[in-house]
Amino acid sequence: MKIISVNNLSFSYDGEHPAIKDVSFDVEEGSYVAIIGHNGSGKSTLAKILMGLLNGYEGEVKLFDTVLSNQSITALRKRIGIVFQNPDNQFVGSTVADDIAFGLENHEVPHEEMEGIIHQYASEVGMIDFLDHEPESLSGGQKQRVAIAGVLAMKPDLVIFDEATAMLDPKGKREIADIILKMKQENPKLTILSITHDVEEANRADEVLVLNDGQLFLSGKPSEVFAHGKELREIQLDSPFLAMLIEALKKQGIDVPQGINDVEKLEEYLCR
Amino acid sequence: MKFSLGRYVPYDSLIHRIDPRAKLLAILFLMICIFFPYQSWAMTFAVDGAIFLLLVVLLYMTRTKIVDILRSLKSLWFMIIFLLLIYCLIPTTEPTFPLAFEVAAWNWRVYWDSFLQAAKILLRLMMMIELTMVLTSSTKPLDLTFALEWYMTPLKVIHFPAHEIAMIISIAIRFIPTLLEDTSRIMKSQESRGVSFSHGRISKRVVSLTSLIIPLFVSAFMRSDELANAMECRGYDPRGNRTRYRLLKAKWYDWVFLLFCAAVFGVLLWFSIDPRFNALLLFPAEVH
Ligand SMILES: Nc1ncnc2c1ncn2[C@@H]1O[C@H](COP(=O)(O)OP(=O)(O)OP(=O)(O)O)[C@@H](O)[C@H]1O
Ligand SMILES: [Mg+2]
């Protein structure tokens, strides 16, 4: 099933400068899709359109085979969760438990069930000991974990991360990446759309979309996309270490076949 | 940055455990009775003294620190001067107490009544501040908001946005530390650019203040925009139906506390309006 289907989407904030230009792509159920692109390339705008936060776009957006509209958005939002970049600006409740409960309250989950759900997802993200902590006493990474717990508690079918780890230190980044991985393992049907500047993370995704000035520049499997190292560098994007290594090997005359997607496999291949 | 007045002090006292709705109403009762007028000075002192004792007990129970109490009263010195001035300037028509001093040339007589009057108002203001402190130091701001929302809920029938107001207040409370952090960050970065917030002429300081306020507003608006997006994405609809994670349940001691404060209110109201108490407690000088 197609979870997201975007056709010829265009959008402009001011009517003059387009932020999204004629973008089309599909996302299959259960896939992990990364979106990369330089600052201002329209990634967040795309996420906001998918969440129904922006109106007046051209083209068609379908989520779960339902056309996105003002009528359908309320029902669709029950199935989509989003984690934004700034951990402070999405912490609504006054304590960790209240924040996880916020989405549940909105979706009229009965009071009796809340405690159990909150405990379950707080422990899933490792925040069970912090339930009555206030946001000031938490680190950025902990706040992001709470945001993820709040999203997961809604049992979404699609989770969008808009640079959710951009403000975190390497340790925080790794912790969030591990949680995402665990989420995926526990629920293979969960679809993840991750907007990121971290090419190593994009390299782990099933599919990568590259946005440049509002247009879809490249898309495909990470190994395919990052094989275009030169084009990516032209739009100020790095390639992951592996792709750079393969490119360097090619320059040296060593050809590496397609489908090698991690360093171990490359090592194995080279040693043979 | 930390405030002392109105800051919640985590502690597990009996007062802390009282339901915020009962506590809010009870404290309100006490606050009103602080300001009841009595016909005689003796009565005034007796009652104010009794309330003062009650307040000391409450403050002790909530484990409010003496330094916090003193700090909360720090701003009262201005009131002291102001009240003394006012009461000394207003001539006393029926003095109970002897003359304190007089300036015969201006026909200006000040009786001890004026000082006592000023002292009375001051004491009552102090007690009012301390009562507020009992409430805020023993109740989380969010619980207070819940209590307010609960009292405003009946107003929903006249389309009064009780829930929205409670949500606004609780978000404002939630963002106070964040915005304070923003403030100190912006101050530091502006100071590193050579702006001075604490030195120089007043006019210059006002100008430097704008270099703090404008970025602060921009940041606050950006935050509120993102917060609104996040809330909307999580399905928040101010007019929609919501269930509640935190439910307030009144227990027996909530009723005991509320009834006790209501009783104090009732008795003092009776003391204040029943003329029989006029004659009960009088200073010798007050016997006419
Ligand atoms: N609220 C807004 N009003 C007007 N223009 C905007 C608004 N938000 C973004 N834009 C513009 O739209 C374009 C795309 O912005 P967007 O935030 O989608 O980029 P992004 O890819 O998310 O960048 P970043 O990596 O910095 O997050 C930019 O040129 C930006 O200036
Ligand atoms: Mg962005």
pLDDT in tens, B81-104: 888 888 888 877 777 777 777 877
CATH architecture of the domain formed by A1-79+197-237: 3-Layer(aba) Sandwich (3.40)
| Residue A212 Cβ contacting ligand 1 at under 6 Å | no
| pLDDT tens digits for range A6-24 | 999 999 998 888 999 999 9
- CB-nearest to B226 from A86, A97, A103 is A86
Residue B240 clears pLDDT 90, i.e. is over it? no
Residue listed under structure tokens 């069930």: A113
**CA-closest candidate to residue B25, choices B129, B162, B148, B128:** B148
Helix (H, G, I), strand (E, B) or coil at B186: helix
pLDDT > 90 fraction of chain A, expressed in percent and rounded: 54
Å from CA of A229 to ligand 2 middle: 23
Pick from A94, A104, A114: which is nearest to B170 by CB?
A94
> Which H helix or E strand runs over A219?
strand A215-220
Q: Is A72 on the interface with B (CB under 8 A)?
A: no
Indicate the residue type of A252.
Q
Q: Do B230 and A90 lie within an 8 Å CB cutoff?
A: yes
Indicate which residue's Cα is closest to atom 25 of ligand 1: A39
Provide the token pair at A40: 């201002």
pLDDT at position A150? 94
Distance B266 CA to ligand 1 centre (A): 63
For B270, the enclosing helix (H) or strand (E) is helix B252-273
Helix, strand, coil percentages, rounded to 5, for chain B: 70, 5, 25
**Facing A108 at nearest CB: one of B170, B222, B242:** B242
Backbone angles phi, psi at A60, to 5 degrees: -125, 135
Q: What is the pLDDT of residue B279?
A: 61
Per-residue pLDDT reduced to its tens digit, A44-94: 999 999 999 998 899 999 999 999 998 999 899 999 999 999 999 999 988
Mean pLDDT value of segment A217-229: 87
A102 vs B232: CB contact, 8 Å cut-off?
no
Name the segment(s) of chain A with CATH classification 3.40.50.300.
1-79+197-237
CB contact under 8 Å between A53 and B237, yes or no, is: no
Chain position carrying tokens 């009262």: B76
Q: Do B230 and A53 touch (CB under 8 A)?
A: no
Pairwise CA distance, residues B229 & A56, whole Å:
17
Q: Is A98 on the interface with B (CB under 8 A)?
A: yes
Segment among A73-87, B203-217, B251-265 with least mean pLDDT: B203-217
Residues from chain A that touch B233, judged by Cβ atoms under 8 A, are: 51, 53, 77, 80-82
Measured over the CA atoms of residue B152, residue B157, residue B160 and residue B166, the dihedral's sign is positive
Q: What are the backbone dihedrals phi and psi of residue A97, each rounded to the nearest 5 degrees, phi first?
A: -65, -45
All residues of chain A having their beta carbon less than 8 Å from the beta carbon of residue B245 are 97-98, 101, 104-105, 111, 114, 118
Mutate to test the interface with A, among B1, B185, B243, B249 (most CBs of A within 10 A): B243
Q: Environment class of residue B157 by beta-carbon count within 10 Å: exposed (0-12), middle (13-18) or buried (19+)?
A: exposed
| Predicted complex ipTM | 0.87
Whole-angstrom Cα distance, residue A227 to residue A208?
12
Measured between beta carbons, the chain A residues lying within 8 angstroms of B179 are none
Is A194 an 8 Å CB contact of chain B?
no
DSSP string, B199-219: SS-HHHHHHHHHHHHHHHHHH
Ligand 2 is an ion; its neighbours by CB within 5 Å are A 44
B141 touches chain A (CB under 8 A): yes
Strand partners, A66: A63
Q: How many CB pairs under 8 A join A and B?
A: 94
Q: A121 contacts in B (CB within 8 Å)?
A: none
pLDDT digits (tens, 9 = 90+) for A104-137: 999 999 999 999 999 999 998 999 999 988 888 8
Looking at the predicted structure, is the pLDDT value of residue B200 above 60? Answer: yes
Q: Give the least confident one: A139-143, A248-252, B159-163.
A: A248-252
CA distance A216 to A95: 40
Q: Can you give the pLDDT at residue B10?
A: 78
Residues of B in contact with A101 (CB under 8 A): 245-246
Cβ pair B229:A53 closer than 8 A? yes
Q: What pLDDT score does B4 carry? A: 46
Which residues 6+ apart lie within 8 Å of B200 measured at CB? B208
Which of B218, B231, B234, B246 is the best mutation test for A, with the most CBs of A within 10 A?
B234
Q: Which of residues 128-147 of A touch B (CB under 8 A)?
A: 135-136
Q: What is d(CA B208, CA B202) in angstroms, rounded to the nearest whole number?
A: 10
Query: Does the pLDDT value for residue B146 go beyond 70?
Result: yes
Could you tell me if B116 and B83 are in contact, meaning their C-beta atoms sit under 8 angstroms apart? no
